[in-house]
Amino acid sequence: MARRRTDPFQRLPEELRQDILSNLDLGELLQAQRVSHGWRHTVKGCLARRDELNMQEFTTLSGWKFSSVPRCISALLRQMPALTDVTLVGKLISGECLSLLPSTLQRLNLDLCQNVRPDYLRLVARCTELQHLALPDWEDKPPEAVIEVLAACPQLEELECHNLDQPPERYLPPGGIPSLRKLSLPEGCTLEMTDRTIRALTELTPGLTYLYAEECHQVTEAGLLQLRRFTQLEECHIYEVPTTDAVLDSLHGLPLKEFLINNSSGMSHEKVKRLILACPLTQLRFHQTEGGDTWTDDDEARQRWYTSLVEALEQQLPDTREVTLEIDDDVCEWMKEHGICKEERVHITDC
């Protein structure tokens, strides 16, 4: 009579089996539960302990049915009470599964869920310990739903918004978000952003250390001058607003480490040098604005401008400091070919 074959993995203690399977990513873990009833039991224990759910890890699995995404996500959320970090993906997710999120959740990324309904988005307000939130990338966001969620998250530190069709300040609670440290407004969010927006952000989110905003075509010098009110600002990337000498002077004394300069005819290399010396900057990026007050198209003039800046910094930057300048590709290549930058305290790289 043939001897019955046994699974050596099942001879190990349950806790050890879970420790071994916990090294698998989520997609591999879901496949492992198909091996046997014993493996399924162990996988269930792994899921109960797991603190991260990222749909991007398993939506490409063989046999995955796209139409079953909402049902499968809901089933997973019921088995994963210890979650602190969740990333959901898919046009079929309407948001009903958000009711299953643990109230102790700390990070939630919904930016690839274009069809989350506003009434379901309000369910996120249960997660009062949220520290990071990326809002869904859908149009016609009702500010009321967003405000309700943000007002319920007193510990929120990072906020990422997509496709805002109203000025960003209208999506923030009247009392602001004092805990917020990072605000990201990618392409499509800032078409309605104005000088008034920046002023409002300094009042509603005074603790910002990081600000990223694209396509700020309606913001002027007056708006950039408001940045000095962010007394804790360390990184600032605001695109398409020409940077002037007045703006550079206004930033002196801020704890800036990274800053985006939109090349402008109203900006001198002397003022840029003084900003670098007045702040703990380690990285400065030069960006060519689209239209408007753009920088000179004269290659030789740009070469002289950057050469003067680099030479001045090499002479005056303290030995204990280094700074990286991200500049135009062609000028960067020219400077390296001619040995303009010694790469000791000042480093240059192309954008």
Nearest to 125 by CA among 102, 152, 92: 152
Residue 68 has pLDDT above 70, yes or no: no
Q: Please, what sign has the CA dihedral across residues 251, 157, 142, 70?
A: positive
Residue 2 has pLDDT above 60, yes or no: no
CATH code for the structural domain at 13-50? 1.20.1280
pLDDT of residue 189: 63
Most confident of 9-23, 112-126, 129-143: 112-126
User: For the chain, what are the domain ranges?
Assistant: 13-50, 242-351
Q: Which two tokens stand for residue 351?
A: 């954008």
On whether the pTM is more than 0.75, the answer is yes
Q: What are phi and psi of 306, to 5 degrees?
A: -65, -35
Higher per-residue pLDDT: 186 or 343:
186
Q: For the segment 217-234, what is each residue's pLDDT rounded down to a tens digit?
A: 899 999 999 999 999 999
pLDDT of residue 114: 83
pLDDT of residue 62: 46
Lowest-confidence pick of 9-13, 47-51, 219-223: 9-13
Rg (CA), the chain: 26
Instruction: Tell me the mean pLDDT in the region 189-193.
Output: 70
Instruction: Tell me the mean pLDDT in the region 84-107.
Output: 91
pLDDT of residue 16: 87
Higher per-residue pLDDT: 290 or 315:
315
pLDDT of residue 69: 67
262 contacts: CB under 8 Å, gap ≥ 6: 238, 239, 240, 241, 242, 243, 287, 288, 289
Q: For the segment 251-310, what is each residue's pLDDT rounded down to a tens digit?
A: 999 999 999 999 877 789 999 999 999 999 999 999 877 554 455 567 788 888 999 999
pLDDT of residue 290: 59
Instruction: Tell me the mean pLDDT in the region 191-197.
Output: 87
Higher per-residue pLDDT: 98 or 64:
98
Instruction: Tell me the mean pLDDT in the region 17-38.
Output: 81
pLDDT of residue 1: 44
Predicted confidence band of residue 106 (pLDDT cuts 50, 70, 90): very high
Instruction: Tell me the mean pLDDT in the region 71-91.
Output: 89
Q: For the segment 123-171, what is each residue's pLDDT rounded down to a tens digit?
A: 999 999 999 999 988 776 789 999 999 999 999 999 999 888 888 999 9
What crossing angle do the helices spanning 37-49 and 14-21 adopt, rounded to 10°?
70
pLDDT of residue 292: 46
User: How far is it, in rounded angstroms, from Cα 198 to Cα 240?
Assistant: 15
Cβ 179 vs Cβ 207: under 8 Å: yes
168 contacts: CB under 8 Å, gap ≥ 6: 161, 185, 189, 190, 192, 193, 197, 201
pLDDT of residue 66: 47
